[in-house]
Structure 1
Amino acid sequence: MQTNSNKNNTTRFAPMLYLKNVADGIEFYKEAFNAKEIRRFSNDDGSVHVAEMTIENAMFHIHEEGSTTSKLSPATLGGTTTVLGIFVEDPDALMSKAIAAGATEISPMQDFDYGYRQGDIKDPFGHNWTFQKSI
């Protein structure tokens, strides 16, 4: 019997973002990206260990940074090697909402000759995001 909330076993990405404080991440992503919290797993001290979330229909997870593993947050590393690209219906609105909630604009929303409208932000935890749609 499958116990997770994802009953659809088709191939897709579900990125795992590492944060120092998952509870803060849950609140930011809800406010900034209209993300929905699907479920969470807490530690014995009440802090959040893992949360499963969605933005529109795109699933992602946020996970507490590991103290003895190589699974570290951008804050600990001082940077990131990944940009999380997400296609949404209204990237302009999502980018504006994210910036109002505390994200930093990296590049403004604009149309590109390769057929995408894109803009980039950095969230308060150091993760880089590209909001985009086909034009």
Structure 2
Amino acid sequence: MNKPSSDYPAFSPYLSVRDAARALDFYVAAFGATERFRLLIPHTQTVGHAELLINGQLVMLAEENPQWGNKSPSTLGGSPATFCLFVPNADAALERAVAAGATVRSPTADQFYGFRSACVTDPFGYTWMLQHQIENVSPAEMQQRWMAMSSGSAEGCGSN
């Protein structure tokens, strides 16, 4: 097995978005991202590839290009993936994301699995769960709490 370069983790998301330059600005404003670099497509001056760090974790993105197989949530009618972003304070993170242009999917609340979390959709169609831990809960206790909930289903980003 080959090891990844020291500058790259073994796994990182690669987002396809409409208006990648605006997306980079959004992620900086909403999540405190740091842009590593961007490469522009010469004839269009759109972002062909960019890298940023969110809480020290690598996220790559590019302008949507269906000819290359890169389709954004806008083209697909939504995203089946949810990104889970651990933050120091979920309430503050929700406020910051909304101020930057995100839409609230679920407000901040304490969850049965021991986290305080909120869920937003960014202006590019991706869903982000913003959360911090409030207690340690074992898997067995999580199961008991889940079963005790009146509906038997967990609240979360996908339920709204």
Q: TM-score range by the shorter chain?
A: 0.7 to 0.9
Give the root-mean-square deviation of aligned CA atoms: 1.8
Q: Kindly state the Cα deviation for residue 8 of structure 1 after the two structures are TM-superposed.
A: 5.2
Is 1:35 matched up with 2:18?
Answer: no
CA distance in 2 between counterparts of 1:27 and 1:9 reads: 22
Percent identity (aligned): 35
Larger RCO, structure (CA 8 Å, separation 6 or more): 1
| Structure-to-structure mapping, 1:117-132, within 5 angstroms | 117-132=116-131
Q: Kindly state the Cα deviation for residue 91 of structure 1 after the two structures are TM-superposed.
A: 2.1
Structure 1 unaligned blocks of 5 or more: none
TM-score by length of 2: 0.75
Amino acid at match of 1:34: G
| Structure-to-structure mapping, 1:30-109, within 5 angstroms | 30-45=28-43, 46-109=45-108
Structure 1 or 2, whichever has the larger Rg, is 2
Cα displacement string for residues 97-131 of structure 1 (whole angstroms, at most 9, x for unaligned residues): 11011100000111112111111000001100001
CA distance in 2 between counterparts of 1:10 and 1:99 reads: 29
CA distance in 2 between counterparts of 1:20 and 1:10 reads: 25
Cα displacement string for residues 57-92 of structure 1 (whole angstroms, at most 9, x for unaligned residues): 122111121221432101111111111111122222
CA distance in 2 between counterparts of 1:81 and 1:70 reads: 16
Q: Aligned residue for 1:16?
A: 14
CA distance in 2 between counterparts of 1:18 and 1:70 reads: 10
Structure 2 unaligned blocks of 5 or more: 135-160
CA distance in 1 between counterparts of 2:97 and 2:30 reads: 4
Number of equivalenced pairs: 130
Q: Choose between structure 1 and 2: higher strand proportion.
A: 1
